[in-house]
Amino acid sequence: MAESTRDRWISAAERVFARRGLHAATVAEIATDAGLSVGLLYRYFPGKTELAVAIVERDREQTVATIDEVASVTGSRAALEVLIDGWLDEALEHRALSALVADISAEAGREGALAVAALRHERDVVDAVAGIVARAAAPTVDATAVAVLLVSALDGLTMRLAIDHGFDPRPSVEALRRGLPALLGA
């Protein structure tokens, strides 16, 4: 399948899942959004689960690439601040996708293939963040533990955006930024 067609299916599924939820969305809605036939969808993706897995895998690749890019263009401490701010800016700009993240996270606890993809996503993101933390932190700091804490905090704020439409994450983000020196052992 050509990459552009694959991306078209994944993007359509992402939009429909964000709007309707994984369970309520239909394959017909995804095909209509993509402007392609249902038969073609089934030819490349056996079902909605495989589309959700593809969404998670694409997001993993994009997120890790973004983290690596941020890490390469700025100092490690500044990279963590840019990462924190960018993560929440993205969640605020694409608030409907926060609901999709919550939906996929919940489903990953029940669905094997989605669980594997979600765990790989989290591990790769934590590893990328841990690389930045390791360069920014005191030698005695467990970079992976701090990365898990940072990613978990940002994931939690994203989930909160999904369920509380009036929630403003900026004060929490500022608190996280103020706490960075302590987390880094400074």
> In the chain, where are the structural domains located?
53-183
pTM for the full predicted model: 0.90
The token pair that represents 36 in the structure block: 């392609």
**Helix or strand run (H / E) with residue 1:** none
% of the chain surpassing 70 pLDDT: 98
- CB count, 10 Å around CB of 158? 22
Lowest mean pLDDT among 24-33, 81-90, 106-115: 106-115
**pLDDT tens digit sequence for 147-182:** 999 999 999 999 898 889 899 999 999 999 999 999
Query: In one letter, which amino acid is 119?
Result: L
Asked if the model's pLDDT at residue 79 lies above 80, the reply is yes
The token pair that represents 172 in the structure block: 């929490």
- The label of the residue with tokens 């669905």 reads 111
166 φ, ψ (degrees, to nearest 5): -95, 0
Report the topology of domain 53-183.
Tetracycline Repressor; domain 2 (1.10.357)
Q: Collapsing DSSP states into helix, strand and coil, what is residue 100? A: helix
